[in-house]
Structure 1
Amino acid sequence: MRNSRILLLCILGAALLSSVMSNSSAGGPDECCFKYYPRRLNKNLIRSYYMTDYRCSKTGAILVTQKSRHICVDPSLSWVETIMRSLDEKTF
């Protein structure tokens, strides 16, 4: 009787541990913008961009420079929209 309880506890512990381990990677977004870069950037220095995850508290665009630096900017600014539009047109 005692052995069956220990076995049951071990199985229950393993099940709980596996569920915690599988959910640890789905906890949240990998990259969010908490502060925007304050100055305007030259569009010739930007190689690409991507948007932050919808789960981030601030919507942000991350501009990737020619030297592979990732810079968070406000996507609603006109100069950022111009850069994103220009990069989108280059891909077509």
Structure 2
Amino acid sequence: MGTITRILLLGILGLALLSSVICNNSSGPDDCCFVIYPRRVNKNLIRSYYMTDHRCPKTGAILVTKKSRHICVDPSLSWVMGIMKHLDESTF
């Protein structure tokens, strides 16, 4: 094999790998909860929340503390629903 052929093949391989990385980064969800925080969190420590992307394997709510810490919790728990309701009502 000639040097030019090797360089050409390496270039094509590099572009193929780069395009797969770019495609994979843009198509998946950014925030998913893989581990759910097991304890109750004080609602006075929470600044905001958001729900995980629908493409995540597990539905979760992400609580954002006043110190910008993100905590994954189960949105079906009563205390989590209470925090989300409190935050929703306080934004009006």
TM-score range, shorter chain: 0.7 to 0.9
Residue 31 of structure 1, CA deviation = 1.0
Structure 1 unmatched ranges of 5 or more:
1-12
Q: Percent identity?
A: 71
Structure 1 residue aligned with 2:81: 81
Confirm whether residue 40 of structure 1 aligns to residue 40 of structure 2: yes
> Which stretches of structure 1, 4 residues or more, deviate above 2 A after TM superposition?
16-27
Matched, 1:31 2:50: no
Q: If the length of structure 2 is used for normalisation, what is the TM-score?
A: 0.76
- Shift in Å at residue 24 of structure 1? 3.3
Q: How does 1:1-92 map to 2 (within 5 A)?
A: 20=20, 23-92=23-92
Cα distance between partner residues in 2 of 1:24 and 1:89: 37
After TM superposition, the score normalised by the length of structure 1 is: 0.76
Q: How many residues align?
A: 82
Unmatched 5+ stretches in structure 2: 1-11
- The CA RMSD over aligned residues, in Å, is 2.1
